[in-house]
Amino acid sequence: DFLNRYPKDQVSGDTFWGSEQDALSGLNAVYDAMQTGDYYMYNNYMYNDGLTPNAYSQGAYQGFQAIGNGTHTATAPGAVAGRWTYCYAGVYRANLFLENVGNAIEDEALLNRTQGEARFLRALYYHNLVMLYGDVPLILKTQSLEEAIVPRTPKADVLAQIHADLDFAANNLPDAYEGSNIGRVTKGAALALKARVHLYEGEYQQTVDLTQQIINMNQYGLVGIYEDVFSPQNENNEEVVFDVQYIAGALGEGNRFDKLLGNRNAAASGWSSLVPVKELVDAYECIDGLPIDQSPLFDADNPYENRDPRLASTVITPGSYFKGALFSLDPDENEVQHQSRSGFLMRKYVDSTDEAQAWDSPGNFIVIRYADVLLMYAEAKNELSGPDAEVYEAINAIRTRVGMPEVPTGLTQEEMRSKIRHERRVELAIEGLYYFDILRWKTVEEVNNGDIHDANGKVVESRSFNPERDYLWPIPQSELDLNPELEQNKEY
Amino acid sequence: LTLSIISAAPGNAQVTSVKDAYIHITKRNVSLQQVFNTVEAMTNYEFTYDARKVNLQQSIADLNYEGNVYGLLVELSERCDCRFKQVNENITVSKAPAKRKVAEERVSVLQEVVVKGKVSDSSGEILPGVTILVKGTTQGTTTDMEGNYSIAVAEDAVLVFSYIGYKTQEVVVGSRSQIDVLMDFDQEQLDEVVVVGYGTQQKENLTGAVSSVNFETIQNRPIASASTALSGLAPGVHVNQSSGQPGRDNATIRIRGIGTLGNSNPLVLVDGIEASMNDINPNDIESMTVLKDAASAAIYGSRAANGVIIITTKKGKEGKLKLSYNGYYAWQKATNIIESVNDYATYMELANEGLTNVGGQPKYSQETIDAWKSGKDPLVYPNTDWTSLIFQAAPMQEHHISLNGGTEKMRFLFSTGVLDQEGIIPNTSYKRYNMRLNWDADVTKKLKIGANISGSWNIRKEPGDVATIMNWLGGTAPGIVPESPDGFFGGAQALDENQQLNNPWSVIQQRDKQEEWQRFLARGFLEYEIVDGLTFQTNAAIKYYNMVLSDFNPKGDLYKFLPDGEKQVHRPYATRASLTNKNRRDYNITLFTTLTYEKQIGRDHFIKVLAGFNQEEYRKDEYSASIKEFPNNNVRELNAGLEDPTLAGTAEDWALRSYFGRVNYELRDRYLFEANIRYDGSSRFAQGNQWGAFPSLSLGWRISEEAFLQDVDFIDNLKLRASWGKLGNQNINRLYGFASSYTTGLNYSFNGNLVSGIAPTALANRDITWETSTTTDIGLDIELLEGKFSLTADYFDRTTEGILVAVPIPKTMGNLTSPVQNIAKVQNKGWELTLGHQNTINELNYSASFNVTKVDNEVIKYKGGNAPPNGVFLIREGHAINSLYGYKVEGIFQSDDEVTQHATQWPGTSAGDLKYADLNDDGKIDGDDRTVIGNIIPEYYFGLNLSASYKGFDLSALFQGVANQDVFLTGNFIAPFASSEAGMFPTRWLDRWTPDNKSTELPRLTHSSRFTGNIQNSSFWIEDASFIRLKNLQIGYTLPAKVTDKLGVEKVRVYANGQNLLTWTSFEGFDPERDPKKTQIVHPNVRIMSLGLNVNF
């Protein structure tokens, strides 16, 4: 008919979900939501470290700088609305898939597996939401405009749903995949995320049980060389429990780390927009296992020598060479163009081959890795029953992998707690997890309240943490404006 | 025009004067009529009179007269208050004027003479068919095929020569027997027939609000786009040219305010076919008609809500071949350039001040500053004046030739031209070649066919996106060498400068983006007069557009120039070279057919009926490809690229089908009635919502035709108009807003394998339908003293309901693009006034026309309550669309004590910062203290058009402007250090607040990346964008006929023209005429001075 015209480059909603192929495409879109939003979600998960004394986010517009120093508001640009938005985009796609997949897939095994994948991803999005915003609307189906006006659901109810989703996933997902299915959610991923959710709630017994279960699967191990864990050439290695998969090649499926984190010398012409600060660098022990203020190996004139090797794998420190160019604080000898206000640059997740192009780098971002599982196990077990042999074994596995001495024996529970916390910080630095750690440990009030410093010891900025308010982010003001049922978090 | 019965005067035998004819008459109680009858019976005289004006029934008490007829008439004139004039055997009776003359003067006796002559126009063309009337009578004649006439009249008679398209002339006969008349071409008269939707209408019978613009005077202006030509000329039409970039200088046109939250562009029709104003060469335009109210626009139904502009192109005329040439050469310059701080040492000191003010460390060392102060080598220590470098003077020229002619049966106009415009930013240019053939033929007496075929070839060059370049220009610093004498581009020279600063000059010089497009429009029509008064017309047209774009972004290194004469590559890893090619093709196919019937019924009734059908369809296809990294910068084709090839392509379409009708009824030439209806179906809506009806009704009352105004001589025309109607708007930005669809490309990869991801990214709304606007218009037209003075006034109220708005939806729904919904309501109320005056004093002709429009815009309904602002722009009920929203600045804190006492502002606020009003008195400044602080829609806009001619000289001036318009300006070139501690800023900031300079309006310097207290959206950043501008001035001289005769040409005219010559404004940005929704600096407008030549053969 002359007047009936339909979109030419889109699939009609009336006929979609008619085949298994449609369903798998729908599921892929649920994965894709982890990458959407340019800067928010896993494209910039490491910026979480900019909210801690690990790093400083140099650009204001991404929003992390303000959250880090406590000047953020509900109308702040960037992350406050960004994370909310893109988590719910993922939730929506998962809900849409779960509502329709029953019509599209006949094979019951495939049906259960794909439902498990979608429910894991939904749980992952909700986990991020409750960690950042507390109570959030629990939406489990696609909504009409009228249905969208909903209040916040108590965090406990959201957590219950997260566990239900993860239990279903753990029961229906395989231990591993082969070939072109590698990268999909596994049973181990579901168990590990579940362990993380429990750990963050201080539910140590469940954490121990779940991490033990993962260890017993014998599916995972530690990669021999720390740097290789993150290398694009060594993807899908034995340490990866779950990651966000990227590929380069101008397909729109590359990550953005080299643009965001890399320096100007790189082919991606990076922004150096998140830079480590002295507080993180100083946290790395000397090679003898002692903190720098105790170790005889520490030389204030050559502060980056004789250090935990993970420092050099995580941070480009002044005086070091990266991709053959000298990086220096002295503008005259510096061969690297940098904008770092701290004098340090990122190395972890930055392409060392210099092939990554702007906005299009190949490496995967690891959401959960086995080292984290071991550290979760150690931490929960220590909290439950003190530093027993298994706790030592777990933490020492992490340390000996990089050639660091084992932790001293005979530690008290408290001493061990401090060792584990230190280990989490340096092992998992710039992976976006330390922020949630200091929040749940409540150490944030101390460590992120005061100045952070550059390589020369000068103040980069002053941090302020308001315990009445800053354990949660504000609900984005735009959402409050649109949904009168929503209430703002305290003090915002 | 009223048709008069013209009768040639009878022969002129010797007759007796009333003074020589004797009569004896005795009557009692007779009427005047009876006296006349008696005299007629007794003599050869015949009385003529207008029975409505002379009371023939009045009685003459006692009449006893003996003497000559003259005496009788004198007596009658005294008793009956009338006057007599004898011409031959006729005695004309009329009412005596109010101021009595002595009785004898009321009776005149005149000799009749025969006058002969020839009538031609000022170019010597003979005019056949000119009407010659004896003033005050119906007696007259017309010129024959050779332009000759002959008429017998009384010697005091005044002959009135009139001809369509020429100024009416009056000539006193006196004792002359040969009177040759030269008719002057008349603009006003031509306008008397106005093009309206699917037809024409006599101006005096118009009942809607219609402005008609004749293009004769506009043509010699150095303008590339027809849209800019309309500026200031028509009331109710606001033309805003927001850029002077070649090929992108077309203006936006808003008719009577902004009627919708979506697309407010009027419908533009060229010879009945929807087209863009940029499709047409201004030289080819005969006239433009703007349909402003619903009554006149309703015939275009669903596309007319924002008004309609009907463009008619020139047509071939019967007669000898005429070749004309128009050409000019012009120079362009930016209208205004902001002076910025170009001395780098000062710049650095100010930057340090801005940093230390907010607790930061100075960015530039004293060493660097001193080096610049003493440094001499401009390569090492540059102080670059970027604006003078980037905005240069640029030439422009246009040449246009048209050939026009035809026979009685067939007429044609052929035109062709070239426009070559370079931009004031180097490497920007626009070239256009165009051609047109308008042809029509009378196949038989009843059958007429014709065609309009036009095409253009356009080439626009620019160094990438000019908006980005403006951005970079704003974001740079003076300490960069644009280009060394040996051709190397510089980067930041100082080590403590941001090393990532761009060199906009290097982009301008190196980036190469060329867009080339061809437009082709062909329309054929056939007209057949089925029976007398019943005409069938059908049209078919195709509009075709093809565009090829090539955008090459070379790999470019920047250099640092060292004191020893060496240079260093600044950015060893610059981005890869890239190339994007794009091809797009659109077409529209339009068919429309009308059936018209008109009939005069008796003397009093005239009826005209129109019925029609229209359909249109559109399709666009486009694809693009890009690739990166090239062997060198000289190969610029896709095949030569090496890395990351990408492809993209899409297509879209829409269709519209319509039925329409119109009835005009005129009762006794003075009561006018018109009704329209259009029934439209659009593909933009779901089945069931596709069709809508748009009716209108209008009435006119030509009061001047009423008997009681017949004697008021100074009123030529007085008409009252009223109209009401509903119009639609289907021009929503989404073609398929109703269709639920899934987006492809939400892809992912597993283990290095790309997999397809598909999900909806937008929420569809099946229920969407038309936006409907209802317009009421009341208007008054007055013309006085034979056209010397005129006034047109209109009051209007246009309310648009069901405006399609993508109302934001909660992100919790899945970050879906909001569905459009028929929700909002916007009202535009206002008035327009046009005052005109024209006169001739001896050989000086002059005219002035002033128009002013006031529009109040108000959002009546949006989303209820407090819709959040979109940045600084607010759409909220009770306010104008996109009102400016932010904090109210009360002043500047003069001391830290004042800061403490005031409501709490941003952390770090201190003396010298902006002080915001605590509107809700809660002791803190936060989002709740924001309010509406400005309106970007001008409240008034106006134009003044002056013209004069004296002998061979002619002059015209157009002033144009707006009043009460606000613009929010922010970012570089406005605010200091607006982007990551760099950026150019105007010299006015030298007068910033410091403890030693407290009496200033500017706050202290602060770096926006560290302290946002002063860069909040606030009234401080609002500028009054009101202006008056001498939009155009033209002075011409036409060579005298004796010179042109020798040259063998008909007419030669030379002229000088200036566009945007002078501007009066308090605006601080580049140019107040800008897109008020853009808050950053934009490409300035240009002042164009030209010298031109018109030659007619």
As a whole number, mean pLDDT of residues B479-507 equals 87
Q: Nearest residue of B to residue A5 by CA position?
A: B683
ipTM at complex level: 0.96
Write out the DSSP string of B829-851: EEEEEEEEEEEEETTEEEEEEEE
Domain spans of chain A?
Answer: 20-201+472-482
Place of tokens 């710049």: B347
Asked if B810 reaches chain A (Cβ–Cβ under 8 Å), the answer is yes
Q: How many CA atoms lie within 13 A of B619 on its CB side?
A: 10
Query: pLDDT tens for residues B254-295?
Result: 988 888 888 888 899 888 888 888 778 888 888 888 888 888
Cα–Cα distance measured from residue B123 to residue B117, given in angstroms and rounded to the nearest whole number: 17
Q: Which CATH architecture has domain A20-201+472-482?
A: Alpha Horseshoe (1.25)
Q: Where are the domains of chain B?
A: 22-110, 113-185
Give residue B3's pLDDT band: very low, low, confident or very high (50, 70, 90): very low
Closest CA to B976 of B506, B500, B493, B357: B357
Instruction: Tell me which residues of chain B, numbers 844 to 873, contact chain A at a CB-CB cutoff of 8 Å.
Output: 866-868
Where does the pLDDT of residue B9 fall: very low under 50, low under 70, confident under 90, or very high at 90 and above?
very low
Provide φ and ψ at B276, rounded to 5°.
-90, 150
- CA atoms of A342 and B300, how far apart (whole Å): 65
Structure tokens that stand for B818 in this block: 């909001």
For B757, the closest of A25, A183, A482 (CB atoms) is A25
Chain A within 8 Å of B683 (Cβ-Cβ)?
yes
Q: How far apart are alpha carbons B404 and B399 in whole angstroms?
A: 17
Was domain B22-110 assigned CATH 3.55.50.30? yes
pLDDT at B97: 63
Q: How far is CA A99 from CA A15, A102, A103, A104, A160, in A?
A: 15, 7, 9, 10, 20
Q: Is B681 on the interface with A (CB under 8 A)?
A: yes
Q: Which of helix, strand or coil describes residue A114?
A: helix
Is B749's Cβ below 8 Å from some Cβ in A? yes
- Split at pLDDT 50, 70, 90, the class of B12 is very low
Q: What are the pLDDT tens digits along chain A (492 aa)?
A: 888 888 888 888 878 998 999 999 999 999 999 998 666 677 889 999 999 999 999 888 889 999 999 989 888 888 999 999 999 999 999 999 999 999 999 999 999 999 999 999 999 999 999 999 999 999 999 998 889 999 999 999 999 999 999 999 999 999 999 999 999 999 999 999 999 999 999 999 999 999 999 999 999 999 999 999 999 999 999 999 999 999 988 888 999 898 899 887 777 778 889 999 999 999 999 999 999 999 999 999 999 999 999 999 999 999 998 878 888 887 667 777 777 889 999 999 998 887 778 888 889 999 999 999 999 999 999 999 999 999 999 999 999 999 999 999 999 999 999 999 999 999 999 999 999 999 999 999 999 999 999 999 999 999 999 999 999 999 998 899 889 999 999 988
Provide the pLDDT for residue B104: 59
Chain A contact present for B759, CB below 8 A? yes
Nearest to B759 among A96, A150, A337 (CB): A96
Interface test mutation site (partner A, options B358, B502, B755, max chain A beta carbons within 10 A): B755
Residues B575, A360: C-beta atoms closer than 8 Å: no
Any A CB within 8 A of B816 CB: yes
Coarse DSSP helix, strand, coil percentages of chain B, rounded to the nearest 5 percent: 10, 50, 40
Taking only residues 342 to 401 of chain B, the set having a beta carbon closer than 8 angstroms to any beta carbon of chain A reads 361
| pLDDT score, position B101 | 55
Q: Which of A11, A357, A479 sits opposite B758 (nearest CB)?
A: A11
Q: Are A29 and B757 an interchain contact pair (Cβ–Cβ within 8 Å)?
A: yes
| B6 — pLDDT class (breaks 50, 70, 90) | very low
Digit-coded pLDDT (tens) for B166-209: 777 888 887 778 888 888 766 554 446 778 888 888 777 788 88
Please check whether residue B792 is in contact with residue B781, taking contact to mean a CB–CB distance below 8 angstroms: yes
Do the Cβ atoms of A24 and B755 come within 8 Å?
Answer: yes
Tell me how many residue pairs between chain A and chain B have CB atoms under 8 A apart: 221
Give the closest-approach CA distance of B986 to chain A in angstroms: 24
Among candidates B509, B548, B510, B465, which has minimal Cα distance to B632?
A: B510
Q: List the one residue out of B724, B958, B1025, B939 whose CA is nearest residue B234.
A: B958
Q: Which CATH architecture has domain B113-185?
A: Sandwich (2.60)
Rounded CA-CA distance A57/A55 in Å is: 7
Q: Does B743 touch chain A (CB under 8 A)?
A: yes
What pLDDT score was predicted for residue B804? 85
Of A3, A11, A13, the CB nearest to B655: A3
Helices (H), A183-236: 187-200, 204-217
| Cα separation, B490 vs B1096, whole angstroms | 53
Place of tokens 């470290």: A49
Contact A9 B927 (CB under 8 A): no
Of B572, B747, B760, the CB nearest to A28: B747
8 Å CB contact of B927 and A91: no
